[in-house]
């Protein structure tokens, strides 16, 4: 893959990946705006990859229209609704550009921003991601996003930029790295951070969708959030161990105190353990067994955390091409 179309031009090819799920109300407008903002550019060629994520409305027919009227359009049709992240993954596999831009179909990511992204790319950045400045979604959704990004940042071991969505430009090297990751639960903005490369954010205002309804139900959004947290952090597992350790220390103390109490016959609230035979035994056993259980679950959690890391099958590291000195050896 050269990233150049036909070979007769040396303009780079820019691919735009657009995941679409039931977007009949907005898709024509989106295509027009994309072509208007990017189609006339003379210093790059354009390819627009529409990924139909199992739409049940006329989205697919509309994409067919584009194909028949515009040689720059590529259609990828998924056999059913696999979800936004899977659709983006498919788009990245089939995009051939030297740089690939991922953009929502509903014009919530302004196509004009792509030109600014391309400028950054030309300046040498390999990952240029959009940072959502002013959201116009409802208060509840905004609060959910806000908490999620901060929680994820606290839990994840990698630097996922806050308020960055999927809207981004990726250089071919980053696209190839992402395509090579074998895992199935794909939280793209996490993976994008994970692969590294030289990156920069661009701020933009996120308007409401131009037409149609959000395709992210609260349930889908929650699944996305959980994918984000659980694919990038095993801290929840480690926390069980921490709680287990703390509670066993506390229960050891309780154990000793109860033992002393029952041996010395001191009155607390006017009672001694001797007033209720068997009470001390039950409390001591309860302390002991429950803290042992938490501790064991925590230890199992540590192993599961490691198994989980291995099954993700991500490579241990990624490198750029290795460079060797061309100087003759002994100077």
Cross-strand partners of 49: 17, 74
Dihedral sign (CA 271, 273, 279, 284): positive
Q: Nearer to Mg ion by C-beta: 136 or 179?
A: 136
**Minimum gap (Å) between residue 168 Cβ and ligand UDP:** 13
Q: What angle do CA 154, 140, 161 make, to 5 degrees?
A: 30
DSSP string, 254-311: HHHHHHHHHHHT--BTTB-GGGSTTHHHHHHHHHHHHHHHHHHHHHHHHHHHHHHHHH
Residues contributing to the site for Mg ion (CB under 5 A): 104, 106, 108, 209
- Going by their DSSP bridges, the two strands 99-102 and 13-20 should be labelled as parallel
SS3 letters across 93-134 = HHCCCCEEEECCCCCCCCCHHHHHHHHHHHCCCCEEEEEECC
- Residues 105-124 as x/- pattern, contact with ligand UDP by CB under 6 A: xx-x----------------
Kind and range of the H or E element at 11?
A: none
Q: Nearer to ligand UDP by C-beta: 101 or 240?
A: 101
Q: Nearer to ligand UDP by C-beta: 59 or 247?
A: 59
Q: Nearer to Mg ion by C-beta: 112 or 309?
A: 112
Q: Which does 20 bind (CB under 5 to 8 A by kind): Mg ion, ligand UDP, none?
A: ligand UDP
Among 31, 72, 84, 120, binds ligand UDP (CB under 6 A): 84
Q: Does 50 contact ligand UDP by CB under 6 A? A: no
- Residues 173-212 as x/- pattern, contact with ligand UDP by CB under 6 A: ------------------------------------x---
Footprint of ligand UDP (CB under 6 A): 19-21, 23, 53, 81, 83-84, 87, 104-106, 108, 209, 214-216
């Amino acid at each position: 893959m050269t990233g150049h179309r036909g070979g007769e031009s040396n303009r780079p090819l820019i691919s735009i990946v657009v995941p679409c799920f039931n977007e009949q109300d907005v898709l024509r407008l989106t295509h027009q705006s994309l072509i208007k903002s990017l189609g006339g550019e003379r210093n790059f060629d354009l390819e627009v990859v529409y990924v139909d994520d199992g739409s049940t409305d006329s989205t697919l027919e509309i994409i067919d229209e584009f194909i028949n009227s515009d040689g720059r359009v590529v259609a990828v049709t998924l056999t059913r609704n696999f979800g936004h992240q899977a659709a983006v993954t498919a788009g990245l596999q089939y995009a051939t550009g030297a740089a690939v831009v991922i953009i929502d179909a509903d014009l919530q990511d302004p196509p004009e921003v792509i030109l600014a992204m391309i400028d950054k790319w030309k300046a040498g950045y390999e990952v240029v991601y959009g940072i959502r400045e002013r959201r116009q979604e409802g208060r509840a959704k905004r609060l959910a996003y806000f908490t999620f990004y901060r929680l994820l940042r606290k839990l994840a071991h990698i630097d996922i930029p806050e308020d960055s969505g999927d809207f981004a430009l990726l250089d071919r090297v980053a696209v190839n790295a992402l395509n090579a990751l074998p895992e199935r639960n794909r939280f793209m903005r996490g993976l994008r951070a994970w692969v590294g490369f030289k990156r920069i954010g661009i701020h933009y205002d996120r308007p409401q969708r131009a037409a149609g309804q959000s395709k992210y139900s609260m349930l889908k959004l929650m699944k996305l959030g959980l994918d984000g947290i659980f694919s990038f952090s095993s801290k929840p597992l480690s926390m069980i161990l921490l709680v287990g350790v703390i509670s066993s220390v506390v229960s050891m103390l309780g154990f000793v105190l109860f033992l002393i109490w029952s041996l010395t016959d001191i009155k607390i609230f006017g009672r001694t353990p001797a007033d209720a035979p068997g009470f001390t035994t039950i409390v001591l056993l309860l302390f002991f067994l429950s803290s042992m259980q938490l501790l064991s679950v925590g230890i199992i959690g540590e192993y599961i955390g490691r198994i989980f890391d291995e099954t993700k099958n991500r490579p241990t590291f990624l490198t750029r091409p290795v460079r060797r000195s061309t100087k003759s050896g002994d100077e």
